[in-house]
Structure 1
Amino acid sequence: MSSGYGSAVAPLPPHLDPRRPRSSSGGRWVVWRRVGLTVLAMVSVFALVVSAYAFFFFRNVDHKVPRFASNFTPRAAQTKTDFDGSDQNLLVVGNDDRSNLTNRQAAELKVGKDGGSIATDSMMIIHIPADGSNATLISLPRDSYVNIPGYGMNKLNAAYAMAYTDTKGSLDAKRTAGAELLTKTVSNLTGLTIDHFIQVTLLGFVQISDAVGGVTVNLCHAVDDTVAYNASQGVEGGSGFVSKAGVQTLQGVRALEFVRQRHNLPNGDLDRAARQRYFLTQAFRKVVSAGTLFDPSRLNALANAVENSVYVDAGFSLTDLARQVGTLSPDNIVSKAIPFQGFQDTEVGSVEVVNPAIVQRFVKNLIDPPAAKPSPSTAPSTSAAGSTPASGPTSTTAKPKPHKKPAAACIN
């Protein structure tokens, strides 16, 4: 065979000759290799599509979520040095605002519409490190006896209410004043710089718990917190929560009843705060799981909840937060309450006594644990090569451990 130029063409090497005979095993390898590459390509494309969808979804919600119209930013309300750098501290406040409830919703939630919008009975800091490797939820009991700038000593949940009430002008101006004073108070108490402020109403809590498909809880005891039962025990009021003991999934109205119950609990408000911390931790685990972040229907439900009943500061970005927690494992989320030194009766009622220095040391050690020092039992071995030390490991370097999901336990 010759080319058009009259010169002979050298034959192709056997392994490149398309006419060469192929073994059956080699053919199968080629087929499976092509299938594998095709599947890999499809998975890559799917991941890109999902990531793009999530990015545009969160960016769209960012444009819709209600914000403090006065451009309130928490950092402007604080003057201390930010010791945790690029980490994020979100102050999440459960606000008893019922202004957006219809008469039917108020009846379903068993709360009425006459409640004020200034009660902040649920307060929590969510600390997320810059690398998004874990998250810590720090519960702030509402009855903590603290110094409120400009007002003196009072319960922590009074800070928002005092500034809200004393501020003249629009509803937004009142909300902003409340958020600013509460931010200052919490920052002074914990030593943390608050990066963002998130305010959730009663309706928002219900809708968010619905959006994540409910939260699993394990109750130690059966519960009857209805008004009728409490009246028979000489107690006024009740959340309406009725449940058997054991594991179950709560959402919607039942979830709200669970976290609002204050009667029939062994430790009163302490147990109520523990319930709120427990429930929000479980809900947060679901939100950061792939099953929620990449489920369009659940994302849309979350978006509706956020758009209807959540207020955030001017600089908050749901897109940035989603990026930061995108690789966060639900098992790396823990929750703790700040320590207190006991109870005391004061001019503002019964309070929990807290020491800011102790609280700040607790918080700093919680989010930035000090390096462990080797104990005598972990000192380097001086035994001969090949022998076994009497006790303890031979390494003296303590490696930081990620948060581990606590063992399942019942809650009051």
Structure 2
Amino acid sequence: MTSRPNSYDDFPLPVDPALGGQPPFEPPQPPVPPQRPKRRRHVMRWIGLVVAIAVLAAGGYVFFNYQRFVSGVNQIDAIDSSGDDAFDGTDQNILLVGDDHRPDGASDAQLAQLGTTADGGGTSTDTMMVMHIPADGSSATLISFPRDSWVDVPGFGKNKLNAAFSLGGGNDDPAGGARLLIQVIEGMTGLHIDHYVRVSLLGFYNIAEALGPIDVCLNNPVNDRYSTLNLPAGVSTLNAQQALAFVRQRHGLPRGDLDRQVRQQYFLSVEARKILSAGTLLNPFKLGEVLDAVSGAIETDSGLNFIDLATQMKGLSADNITTATIPILGTPTINVGGSALSIVEVDTAAIPAFIEDLIGGPSAYETATAAAPADVTVAVLNGGAYNGSAAAATETLASFGFLTVAPASTEATATTTIQYPAGQEGAAKAVATYLPGAAVVASTTVSQVTVVLGGDGLMPAAPVAAEPAAPAPEATPAGTTYAAGACIN
């Protein structure tokens, strides 16, 4: 056995020439206890074992939390799956819906917490947003849809957007309500909805309570007896009840429901910043509370895989969430069945460019090649032009070689549009060549290319040589990103 180095052995002794090259006298050394060479190995093994146990424990904790989370989520058959809704490196669109129904058997105390009464509420979807996630998951875009948007609801004609869920049977058949609402949103935007998430009034409250107090900033003080919100101007710290009132308020805001949309976009950005903070993600108890609250609050389509969703969104931060509201023309009051009705008039013609500016990338329509007129069947509907205009437009299109069907009338609209079903982009582009200025919109409510003549007076005509285009002005960002500490109405 070798001796363990000590304070003398560590350094060579000097040689004294006077002693004939012999080293000087070395004092006797104290006995050295025998070494245990295996102890270090044992220690390293124990360290490795502890690390392995910690990793396994963390993995088990994550697995346990995920299983607990998934078991609390209610899933419904909301999406007509076509095999392209998986998180497989493609862009994803998730429809987020919030409704106003009260919990069954809620006590007066619970209703007071929600800032509401036992009036039953309703399943009208007052909050509707599409969350667009690009393939690389580095950002997210929230597109809001005003609840009073006056839209085409298949099978029910014109109606407010927030009625689609109920008209689809949402009271008794949430899947049917979700499917009809998705069909309307897809028809409005041309976006394919891949997944669906719905949260109730009580669910929102529970999530806000689990996350804890949150700071918001208002430009002006508010005192709204309908939502029960009473806050000064500047920064306020909200509890769960105040948070719910904050996103529900629309009375007393300069633009009513449109400003409520902004409130909801702002609040989701603030909440995302809190959820993605180390204080939530690195606190297992806090994270568990939040996961429990979220899982018990939401209803999703059966194909939504949360692990895949989290993997695709791993690069997301609160600072790269963009929010926007679909373009509108105004908030007129119209007459329906002899009664006055306040609506939001959607700028249908502006939506395609709005979507493109917001989420980027060429659409299938843009990349399509115009079909030959002889290969295109087109229908013309009069939606606000002079009497006989649909028949005249049909005759003109037939003279250019298009196949046509009998003209008809439809609901009044201000803007002439060319509507087409998915897969007929080339046919729509061919018609657009003979109807410059018309909005071209993908729609789930038509089975062929359909021209809806509006009050703008556009009519088909032979194409003319295009003049050189003037330089386009610098684009204005379509959406808003809320920085930390931003203030709103």
Are the equivalent residues in 1 in contact too, given 2:85–2:194 (CA < 8 A)?
no
Q: What are the residue-to-residue correspondences of 1:160-239 with 2, within 5 Å? A: 160-164=165-169, 171=172, 174-226=173-225, 238-239=226-227
- Render the CA deviation track for 1:280-333: whole Å, top value 9, x for unaligned: 222123223343233222222223323433211111122222222233222111
Number of aligned residues: 327
Task: State the alpha-carbon separation in 1 of the partners of residues 104 and 230 from structure 2.
Answer: 26
Report the structure number with the largest CA radius of gyration. 2
1:287 aligns with 2:267: no
Q: Kindly provide the amino acid, as one letter, of the partner of residue 65 in structure 1.
A: V
Q: CA deviation at 1:50?
A: 4.8
The reply to whether residue 411 of structure 1 matches residue 470 of structure 2 is no
More helix by share: 1
What residue is the counterpart of 1:63 in the other structure? 71
The 5 Å alignment of 1:5-404 reads 50=58, 53-68=61-76, 72-76=77-81, 86-100=90-104, 102-103=106-107, 104-164=109-169, 171=172, 174-226=173-225, 238-347=226-335, 349-368=341-360
Local SS of the residue matching 2:128: strand
The residue number in structure 2 matching 1:379 is none
Give TM-score, length-normalised by structure 2. 0.60
How many angstroms does 1:352 deviate by? 1.5
> In structure 2, do the counterparts of structure 1 residues 21 and 252 end up closer, same or farther at CA, with 3 Å as the change threshold?
farther
- Paired residue secondary structure (1:302): helix
Displacement after TM superposition at 1:20 (Å): 6.1
Contact 1:59–1:319 (8 Å) recurs in 2: no
Unmatched tracts of structure 2, length 5 or more: 2-8, 13-46, 363-479
Q: Sequence identity of aligned pairs in percent?
A: 43
Q: 2 CA distance for matches of 1:271 and 1:251?
A: 21
1:153, 1:411 → 2: CA distance? 33
TM (normalized to structure 1)? Answer: 0.70
**Residue 153 of structure 2 aligns to which amino acid in structure 1?**
I
C-alpha spacing 1:47/1:254, structure 2 compared with 1 (3 Å): farther
Cα offset, 1:192, TM superposition = 1.2
Tell me if the contact between 1:94 and 1:201 (Cα under 8 Å) persists in the aligned partners: yes
Following TM superposition, by how much is the alpha carbon of 1:342 offset from its aligned partner in structure 2, in angstroms? 1.6
Do the aligned partners of 1:118 and 1:164 also contact (CA within 8 Å) in 2? no
Per-residue displacement from partner, 1:327-371 (whole Å, max 9, x unpaired)? 32221112111111222222451212113342232123211267x
Over aligned residue pairs, what C-alpha RMSD do you find?
3.4
AA matched with 2:94: L
Q: Quick check: which one's strand share is greater? A: 2
SS in 1 for 2:328: coil
Residue 274 of structure 2 aligns to a residue whose secondary structure is helix
Cα separation, 1, equivalents of 2:54 and 2:11: 37
Task: Provide Cα deviations, 1:157-198, integer angstroms capped at 9, x if missing partner.
Answer: 111111126x8xxx3xx2111110001111111221111111
Verify the 8 A CA contact 1:118 1:161 in the aligned structure 2: yes
Q: State whether residues 134 and 332 of structure 1, in contact with CA within 8 Å, keep that contact through their aligned partners in structure 2.
A: yes
Deviation at 1:74, TM superposition (A): 1.9
* Structure 1 SS opposite 2:333: strand
